[in-house]
């Protein structure tokens, strides 16, 4: 993607944009050996050689975004497991250094985002931006309306209330049921612990969506690179501070909006 020359220089930390514009106007900047004097000139920060005042401007590193359909019995870690268990990196073969955005438990499968963009990764995990994660959860028993309302309001974990979430019964299978749960924060073993708190043990857990991303057409254990449009959609989710009405939803549970569950 082409970028304005002054922005490339500023992003490299060599000068402010205004100062970079002055350097360009003074003929002190070269692109691929050619002096550039027009501040609006656009260059490719990944391939073009830019020199400002004789100093080479470091090339930008291409950001990488990957969606993996994580299998169960697989660790969300970048290192090698000392017990020889598989990790998500056994399924991804890329030269760029990527790392998971959050994590999925060892026995949980589904949508896992990995990226080289640490700043965006951190924002995507911040509860205040309310980036949704959707799960299909098989639990023992069939929750009644009261239990579903309790889950939607949030439950106490470690003496602290979890954020409200959206929950509904997707289908019933014999004595068990499948719940569709959309949540906006991710504590350790979050889904399993809140279900245990209402006495419905989790049998199987799959994350079907992360933000705007889904697993359509992606086999278990496979991965794909995100499109520019998908990356832009993720950026837009964390571009603005949450609206006041969204912040209000995170206040004490008794004041949170309840989610009506399907019957």
- Check residue 54 and give left, alpha or beta (phi > 0: left; psi -120 to 50: alpha): left
User: Is 139 part of a structural domain of the chain?
Assistant: yes
Q: Say whether both 194 and 93 belong to one domain.
A: yes
Q: Say whether both 45 and 156 belong to one domain.
A: no
Beta bridge partners of 112: 68
What local confidence, expressed as pLDDT, does residue 224 receive? 93
Total domains in the chain come to: 2
Beta bridge partners of 168: 180
User: Is 151 part of a structural domain of the chain?
Assistant: yes
Residue-wise pLDDT for 81-111, tens only, equals 889 999 999 998 876 788 999 999 999 999 9
Q: Say whether both 211 and 177 belong to one domain.
A: yes
Q: Say whether both 78 and 43 belong to one domain.
A: no
Q: Say whether both 16 and 108 belong to one domain.
A: no
Which of 56, 84, 100 is the last residue before a domain boundary?
56
User: Is 261 part of a structural domain of the chain?
Assistant: no
Q: Say whether both 50 and 172 belong to one domain.
A: no
User: Is 102 part of a structural domain of the chain?
Assistant: yes
Q: Say whether both 113 and 145 belong to one domain.
A: yes
Q: Say whether both 23 and 147 belong to one domain.
A: no
Q: Indicate which CATH number applies to the domain containing 27.
A: 3.10.290.10
User: Is 262 part of a structural domain of the chain?
Assistant: no
Looking up tokens 């931006």 gives 129
User: Is 260 part of a structural domain of the chain?
Assistant: no
Catalytic positions, please?
A: 105
Q: Say whether both 93 and 216 belong to one domain.
A: yes
Which of 23, 38, 56 is the last residue before a domain boundary?
56
What local confidence, expressed as pLDDT, does residue 46 receive? 75
Cβ burial of 75 (10 Å; 0-12, 13-18, 19+) is buried
Residues of the chain with pLDDT under 70: 1, 13, 59-61, 95, 241-263
CB within 8 A of 118, min separation 6: which ones? 99
Q: Say whether both 188 and 246 belong to one domain.
A: yes
- Show the domain range for 30: 3-56
Beta bridge partners of 3: 43
Q: Say whether both 156 and 204 belong to one domain.
A: yes
What local confidence, expressed as pLDDT, does residue 15 receive? 82
Q: Indicate which CATH number applies to the domain containing 91.
A: 3.30.2350.10
Q: Say whether both 31 and 115 belong to one domain.
A: no
User: Is 76 part of a structural domain of the chain?
Assistant: yes
The secondary structure of residue 53, as a DSSP letter, is T
User: Is 82 part of a structural domain of the chain?
Assistant: yes
What local confidence, expressed as pLDDT, does residue 1 receive? 66
User: What's the CA gap between 181 and 186, in Å, rounded?
Assistant: 12
């Amino acid at each position: 993607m082409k970028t304005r020359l002054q922005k490339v220089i500023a992003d490299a930390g060599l000068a402010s944009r205004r100062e970079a514009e002055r350097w360009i106007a003074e003929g002190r900047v070269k692109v691929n050996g050619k002096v550039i004097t027009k501040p609006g000139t656009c260059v490719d920060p990944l391939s073009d050689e830019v020199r400002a005042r004789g100093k080479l401007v470091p090339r930008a590193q291409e950001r990488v975004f990957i969606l993996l359909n994580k299998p169960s019995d697989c660790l969300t870690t970048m290192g090698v497991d000392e017990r020889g268990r598989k990790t998500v990196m056994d399924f991804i073969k890329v030269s760029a250094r990527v790392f998971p955005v959050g994590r999925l438990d060892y026995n949980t499968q589904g949508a896992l985002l990995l990226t080289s963009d640490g700043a965006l990764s951190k924002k995507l995990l911040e509860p205040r931006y309310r980036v949704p994660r959707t799960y299909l959860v098989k639990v023992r028993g069939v929750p009644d309306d009261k239990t579903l309302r309790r889950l939607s309001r949030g439950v106490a974990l470690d003496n602290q209330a979890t954020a409200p979430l959206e929950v509904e019964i997707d289908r019933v299978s014999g004595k068990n049921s499948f719940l569709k749960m959309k949540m906006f924060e991710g504590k350790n073993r979050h889904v399993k612990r809140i279900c245990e708190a209402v006495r419905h043990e989790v049998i199987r857990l799959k994350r079907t969506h992360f933000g705007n991303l889904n697993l359509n057409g992606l086999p278990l254990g496979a991965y794909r690179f995100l499109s520019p449009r998908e990356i832009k959609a993720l950026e837009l989710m964390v571009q603005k501070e949450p609206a006041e009405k969204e912040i209000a939803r995170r206040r004490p549970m008794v004041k949170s909006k309840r989610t009506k569950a399907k019957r």
